[in-house]
Structure 1
């Protein structure tokens, strides 16, 4: 079954039946086929939906990237409202630069996801923005490009932030839409400030975001092989840039959970996600913990920080013989897990 925003979009399916359209961050893998226009291209910033969409068919229609290249021009585009409003602004700037003059630019999303207030961001490219449909607690807004559009440069949206944690000071690249954009989140700070001795060997930063933990590992243990993984193209881009800033030779990969991670690790570190878009979703972390056995080398350990309300301790104790809380605050617990069953 299609998501509510996609169902709303399908009510205007005739709009997308002809011409070159760009679909941005759809929340479903089948919506492209249902719109039934072979000239539709799809821009994905999330690797899970990208892989699922390619598996459905016509993989040549789909592109996974932090930014869409502006060398191809479209007659119209639809952006699915992201969780971050700053990411929405960046997407509008990127996508508008990919459109023909007077093209249509649409924004669809759930009301609770902020689509109504985000519609005003279309004012940057259009003198008139209209709500053209609403249903299923979602809204669809449309604008016609009639204002000058600047060339898009992703680096203009990047910022560098200074991390002071765990006895180190270093720089990290950040972009709108990446976890805790522009600052160090409390959970990751607790993890870095309370890390036990870092093991040597292959080290994994799972759900790496901008690369805060992975770069710390690389700086603290330069002889180790550090791998960082994330589902987000924006995070993968930032983690790679963060590694360059710190002159680190690390591997950064896009992965749906652990699906695209290869090999075994002497230690895994994570401040795992518990949201998919605006929806609370524990499945990514639960699947990660369940599948970790095949990725840990003998004697391998897991260091995980989580909000206290996320009751991961029972699941960790099912999978590890040793689970200890090595740091706690009123909001977070840092777990150290060893001897996987």
Structure 2
């Protein structure tokens, strides 16, 4: 079943029947096959939906990237409202630069997801912004891009900041939409300052974000071979840039969970992703914990930091013979896990 924003979009699908259209960050893997479009291109910043969509839909052109090339010119585009308003601003600037003069720019999303701010966001590129439909606690806004559009450069949205943790000084690049944009989150700080051992050999930073953990590992032990993975194209871009800023040779892999990773690791480090809303969802982390032993050498280890209220210890003890709580604060717990079952 389509998500609520996609269901709302389907009610206006007649607008896609003429011209060349760009669909941006759809939340459904099959919405592109449902829209009746003469020519549809799809821009993904999230590898999981990109991987499934491109496999299912051979009629449309799918691109996984941090930004869309502005030499391609479209008659219209639809952006699914991201969680971050700053990411929405960046996407609007990028996509507007991909449109023909007076092109149509639509923004769809859930009311609780911030779509009510769409009119103000779209006013940066248009003098004509209208709410054209609403249903299922969602709204669809449309704008005619009639203002002067500046050339889009992803680098102008980047923020570089200095980090000093556990005696290691380095730089990190960040973009809107990347976890804890422009700063180090408290959970990661706790992990980095937990007297962790960084062994020689191949190590993984899972859910790398801007590369804060991965670059720390590479700086602390230059003999390690760091691999960083994330589902976000923005995170992949930032981690590569962060490694470059610190003269580190690393491997950065776009992956839905662990699916695209190859080979074994002597150690894995992570501040795993989870979602909080009406209900807490940490299915990505549950799947990661259940599968990680396949990627560890026999005496490999897992270093994981998590919010204290998340009951990770029970999940970890099902997969590892030895689970040690090496540090704990009022908010976070750091676990060292070894001897996989």
Same fold? TM cut 0.5: yes
Q: What secondary structure sits across from 2:29 in the alignment?
A: coil
TM-score by length of structure 2 reads 0.98
Name 2:92's counterpart in structure 1: 92
**Contact 1:107-1:119 at 8 Å conserved across structures:** no
Residue-by-residue CA offset, 1:20-69 (whole Å, 9 max, x unaligned): 00000000011001003251100000000000001103176100000000
Name 1:293's counterpart in structure 2: 293
Distance 2:135 2:195 in 1: 48
Distance 1:60 1:20 in 2: 11
Distance 1:72 1:235 in 2: 24
Name 1:133's counterpart in structure 2: 133
Q: Which stretches of structure 1, 4 residues or more, deviate above 6 A after TM superposition?
A: 276-279
Name 1:167's counterpart in structure 2: 167
Aligned length: 341
Once the two structures are TM-superposed, the CA of residue 298 in structure 1 deviates from its matched residue by 1.1
Distance 2:170 2:278 in 1: 31
Name 1:115's counterpart in structure 2: 115
TM-score by length of structure 1 reads 0.98
**Contact 1:82-1:277 at 8 Å conserved across structures:** no
**Contact 2:30-2:57 at 8 Å conserved across structures:** no
- Say what the alpha-carbon RMSD is for the aligned residues: 1.3
Distance 1:22 1:119 in 2: 20
**Contact 1:325-1:333 at 8 Å conserved across structures:** yes
Q: What secondary structure sits across from 2:123 in the alignment?
A: helix
Q: What secondary structure sits across from 2:322 in the alignment?
A: strand
Gaps of 5+ in 1: none
Once the two structures are TM-superposed, the CA of residue 280 in structure 1 deviates from its matched residue by 4.3
Name 1:268's counterpart in structure 2: 268
Gaps of 5+ in 2: none
Distance 1:226 1:105 in 2: 40
Name 1:81's counterpart in structure 2: 81
Once the two structures are TM-superposed, the CA of residue 275 in structure 1 deviates from its matched residue by 2.4
